[in-house]
Amino acid sequence: MILYEDDFVIAVAKPNNMLVHHSFMARNQSEEQTLVGLLEETFGKSFFPIHRLDRKTSGIVLCAKEKALVSRFQALFITNQIQKVYYGIVRGFSPKSGMIDSPVKGRDANVHKEAETHFETLESITLPIPVRPFSESRYSLVKLLPKTGRMHQLRVHLNKISHPLIGDPKYGDRFHNRMFQTEFDMHTLFLHATTLSFQHPFLDTEIVITCPFPTDWHTIANRFQWKLPH
């Protein structure tokens, strides 16, 4: 789904469990469909990702139409001139709001880099479904505003405050992940990139791009009687 397009960039909605592009770190990289590959098949031309989303994260991916344009837009991310909004569903009752300021490992696992995430809890629920070791289960809907863009930053930070994202196979809680699979048939990482806002470096206008929530989110929101943000 195309969310925004001009002469310089295109923004598209990446589904859950799709790579943005092949990389050395990705398994089965020669056979697997990627977002960039899908765009090339659809439009018959190459596109160049300006930033990344994890395979299991859904939401906005911004791509340049020419390779020479990538650095100009990447500079906005590097200098924190792009405002990003994510939403996540986490285990437990998360605090009303807060800021997580904790270093996160970069792609070089031996190097930690400063990382900052602000969050706000929008909804919560207690379910009469036991999840080990408790007789019931609790979940929260959180709004996430990362001020930096480290690898797995939001996933690591939420685990750091003991409210890991549901469906996270690496940093999450396997018992709660399993409950969502068995009770709701949900195998999704509930992390979605909904908004990118920035001053366009060529058009000199404020651009705000939004991405609708995937179907799984609406299914869970209806079940929990939560109101998803527009």
Task: Write the DSSP assignment of 137-194 as a string of letters.
Answer: EEEEEEEEEESS--TTHHHHHHHHTT-PBTT-TTTS-HHHHHHHHHHH------EEEE
* Amino acid in position 15: P
The answer to whether the pTM exceeds 0.75 is yes
Residue 27 has pLDDT above 70, yes or no: no
Q: Which residues contact 187 (CB under 8 A, 6 or more apart)?
A: 167, 180, 181
Q: What is the pLDDT of residues 39-56, one digit of tens each?
A: 999 999 999 999 989 999
Question: Residue 192: exposed, middle, or buried by beta-carbon count in 10 A (0-12, 13-18, 19+)?
Answer: buried
Q: Smallest Cα–Cα separation from 1: which of 50, 59, 88?
A: 59
**3-class secondary structure, 132:** coil
Please report, for residues 33, 48, 53, 83, 132, the alpha-carbon distance to residue 40 in angstroms, rounded to integers and kept in the order given: 11, 10, 18, 27, 46
Which residue ranges form the domains of the chain, and what is each CATH number? 2-224 (3.30.2350.10)
Both structure tokens of 69: 């344009």
Enzyme catalytic residues? 54
- Identify whether the C-beta of residue 46 lies closer than 8 Å to the C-beta of residue 163: no
Mean pLDDT of all residues in 11-18: 94
Residue 3: how many CB atoms within 10 A of its CB? 17
54 phi/psi in degrees, rounded to 5: -55, 155
pLDDT at 109: 62
% of the chain beyond a pLDDT of 70: 94
Both structure tokens of 142: 């959180």
Mean pLDDT of all residues in 17-39: 74
**3-class secondary structure, 108:** coil
Residue 102 has pLDDT above 70, yes or no: yes
